[in-house]
Amino acid sequence: MRETTDILISGGGVAGLTAACAFGSAGFRVICVDPAPPITERDAEGADLRTTAFLQPSIPVLQDAGLWSRLEPHAAPLQVMRIIDAGGELPEARLIKDFNAADISDAPFGWNLPNWLLRREMVARLSELPTVSFRPGTGFARMLTRDTEALVTLTDGTRIVAKLVIGADGRTSPVREALGIAASTTRYGQKALAFAVTHLIPHDNVSTEVHRSGGPFTLVPLPDRDGHPASAVVWMESGPEVARLSALSVPEFEAEMTARSSGILGPLTLVSRRTIWPIISQIADRLSGPRTVLMAEAAHVLPPIGAQGLNMSLADLAVLLELAQSHPEDPGVPAVTEAFHRARHLEVKARVTGIDLLNRASMAKAPVLRDLRAKALDALYSASPVRHTLMRAGLGASGKSATPTRG
């Protein structure tokens, strides 16, 4: 038996779930599949302990998807972005640069939320939408495309006739593979540790990135936890160093991370598991095929610097939704899929290149390179036109000439 739908979304990660909420809210019939059911509790095994800092342009996308009213009560605002260079002999702050959103906007740069909570609220929103059928436990298996439709077979044998297939199925995207689209990948030999901490000194809605070597150490505000100020941490280092750090006892780890943070929030207390994420840059050669588009990590992967990853995915979604709404009878025509590729590919490439450069600068080990980085940061952030361009980019508002900043 065959089912029909307007849109089949392969992938129920944060990007696929947001896309299902957005297209379902816009009145399209949507089926969203994912072999891995979403984990929606903080302390459950396998919960995604990363957080997402949604920058300003992502908020209307979440509003239109009926999500923002659910998410806002749990979000911590990011008012100030602080960059610290601690690349001297000792891990002490030797250069501190602040960007205050108030200099260019009435609103904060963005709002930070835990990924497990995003999944919980997104699944709840989907259950309100009669237009969407979410099928955790079932995956995309293969696909045949014709001029008029795509015929998708799911892992449970169900066959779906869809006008448009959206590949939001992650960095090893099965949809990308089915289309035969290659991707260019850069490996840095780096991994990220993501976890939560509490601290004595309040964060005052300041997001801080500390550079020394191996990659940035980033503290992003969270709402208080059990009455204590709390932050999400992403700590990037070489693979072997991450293995060493994750094997330390909790007191040893706490001592090392407090030193690596230059002590800016006082002693840090670990309040979650330590989760490990491999760091790569990747971009698909094309973002569309017949009756198909690729979005989010299926299309682009970035090191977690500047909160660009999922925000870029929501920019993909905004463009795709607008194109689809201009062809509501058939959202899979080339006027949608090919226009999506043209609208997004160059922009995505520019951001991937920019973040790649920032990451390489942050990895610098040799003292002379670290001194150079400090000088470059100082010059860059002291010149006011450059500073304002970087701040607007931090808001995700850079248009095509992306000069990403950190978040």
Positions touching ligand FAD (CB under 6 A) are: 10-16, 33-36, 50-53, 139-140, 168-170, 174, 192, 194, 234, 277, 296-297, 304, 307, 309-311, 313
Per the CB < 8 A criterion, the answer to whether 172 and 202 are in contact is no
The helix (H) or strand (E) run that includes residue 336 is: helix 334-363
Nearer to ligand FAD, 251 or 399 (CB): 399
> Could you give the 3-state DSSP secondary structure of residue 136?
strand
Residue 81 Cβ vs ligand FAD, minimum distance, rounded to whole Å? 12
Residue 104 Cβ vs ligand FAD, minimum distance, rounded to whole Å? 20
Nearer to ligand FAD, 231 or 374 (CB): 231
Query: Cα-Cα-Cα-Cα dihedral of 329, 334, 335, 340, to 10°?
Result: 110
Closest CA to 268 of 258, 276, 283: 258
Closest CA to 235 of 220, 250, 221: 220
Nearer to ligand FAD, 209 or 297 (CB): 297
Phi, psi of 217 (to 5 degrees): -115, 110
Nearer to ligand FAD, 327 or 392 (CB): 392
Per the CB < 8 A criterion, the answer to whether 300 and 348 are in contact is yes
Position of tokens 């000194």? 201
Residue 170 Cβ vs ligand FAD, minimum distance, rounded to whole Å? 3
Residue 221 Cβ vs ligand FAD, minimum distance, rounded to whole Å? 12
Residue 329 Cβ vs ligand FAD, minimum distance, rounded to whole Å? 26
- Whole-angstrom distance, CA of residue 293 vs CA of residue 327: 15
User: Which two tokens mark 403?
Assistant: 């000069």
User: Which two tokens mark 273?
Assistant: 């598991």
Per the CB < 8 A criterion, the answer to whether 104 and 84 are in contact is no
Nearer to ligand FAD, 15 or 265 (CB): 15
- Which residue is closest to ligand FAD by CB? 13
User: Which two tokens mark 268?
Assistant: 């840090």
Residue 65 Cβ vs ligand FAD, minimum distance, rounded to whole Å? 14
> Which DSSP letter does residue 138 get?
B
Residue 337 Cβ vs ligand FAD, minimum distance, rounded to whole Å? 18
Per the CB < 8 A criterion, the answer to whether 269 and 157 are in contact is no
Nearer to ligand FAD, 126 or 307 (CB): 307
Nearer to ligand FAD, 140 or 253 (CB): 140
